[in-house]
Amino acid sequence: MAEIYPFPKTAEEQEAERQLTEAMHTLNAAIKHAAQCGFEIELRPGTWSFASYTRTPVPYVDLTARLPGRQKPLEFVEI
């Protein structure tokens, strides 16, 4: 059986991967810190189907953090 060698990533692809990894570490740390401070965290997955730079929908996460007993009208924010 022949071995398959993946093409090396371009500099732009490597930078995008690095930024995404860094953003995920930052988001995870922020969620953990907020939970330790007593926030109720709610994550909802979604998709942007209107993205013009790809044929398939782009996933995103909608994040809500609330302190128990303090309700504020919901605000929708794009990340």
The string of pLDDT tens digits covering residues 11-22 is 999 999 999 999
> Percent of the chain at pLDDT above 70?
82
Does pLDDT of 25 surpass 80? yes
- Please tell me the distance from the alpha carbon of residue 60 to that of residue 3, in angstroms, as a whole number: 35
Cα atoms in the Cβ-side hemisphere of radius 13 Å centred on 1: 3
What's the pLDDT score for residue 51?
A: 65
Percent composition of the chain: helix, strand, coil (DSSP 3-state, to 5): 35, 25, 45
